[in-house]
Amino acid sequence: MSQNPNPFLRGYWNLKIVRTLSISYEDGSPHVWRNIHPSQQHLSDEELISSSCIVTSDFAVVTNGSEPISAEVLAECDADEGVNGEGVIGAVVYAIHGEDFDGRLIHVGDSYSVEAAREVVQRLSFETGYYSRCWEISSAHISQETGLYLANLADLATPEAFLFIAFRVPYSPAIGVKLISTPWTDKNLEYAEGITAEQLRQEHRSKGMPDDLANILELAGQADVRILILDADAPVLLGLPLAEP
């Protein structure tokens, strides 16, 4: 399991659906999972199930279909050093893959229909394609002095170079922050603002921003958070340090 250094990061990125085949062997060898060869991707699930196939290390090719296998595909099978013989397709499964926070490919789950897989992806990604971009966390993560600093920013004009806007929540002591030009990565900040993440950090610190607030906003910005609410009644965020008493 990946070690997540940023408690604001949630869910998986770049979710996608991959049609895979569960293939068994007559000799009782453990079944294997393969993708169908690109030349046969047009075959329906019904046409694939119970079909005989050539199994290579990277793909499978149906051998008893209505269309003959081309010489090019057979040559590709012969050239593969990992040919595992012939098997029978027992099931067509739609695997859901995503990227972890560090870019590693993660197998999220399986479904037996593309419609069900699409519904899972939709539920995980939401309308925006992100797990969550709005957070409410305890104000115990910042000191009382930092809370006053943030309240002053909400009452006055937040410096434009900070790339966030502080605001008060009506009828509540909570303070909100709307982050701008997220995610705060070098690539996105250079594209959107012409600066690096380090330059943004220096801008915050050079203007006297307390370290606890600067650290929280840096992590939230990296995770593409857009709205952050700090409220005494909200729960603490596991993994995020509390302010020292």
Statement to judge: residues 94 and 177 lie in one domain: no
Q: Which pTM was predicted?
A: 0.63
pLDDT at 68 (0 to 100):
85
Last residue of a domain, one of 107, 125, 143: 125
Same-domain status, 107 and 139: no
Residue 185 located in a structural domain: yes
Task: Indicate the residue among 125, 147, 173 that finishes a domain.
Answer: 125
**Mean pLDDT for back-to-back runs of 10 residues, the chain (245 residues):** 72 88 88 92 93 89 85 80 79 92 85 92 67 87 95 90 94 95 94 95 94 96 94 92 86
Q: What is the pLDDT of residue 131?
A: 59
* Angstrom distance (rounded) from CA 35 to CA 60: 6
pLDDT of residue 216: 96
Per residue in 161-188, pLDDT (tens digit) is: 999 999 999 999 999 999 999 999 999 9
* Residue range(s) defining the domain that contains residue 163: 134-231
Note the pLDDT of residue 81. 65
Is there a domain that residue 239 lies in? Answer: no
Q: Could you tell me the CA-to-CA distances from 114 to 27, 37, 178 in Å, in that order?
A: 31, 18, 37
Burial of 44 (0-12, 13-18, 19+ CB in 10 A): exposed
Q: What's the total number of domains in the chain?
A: 2
118: left (phi over 0), alpha (psi -120 to 50) or beta: alpha
Residue at which a domain ends, from 94, 125, 156: 125
pLDDT of residue 86: 87
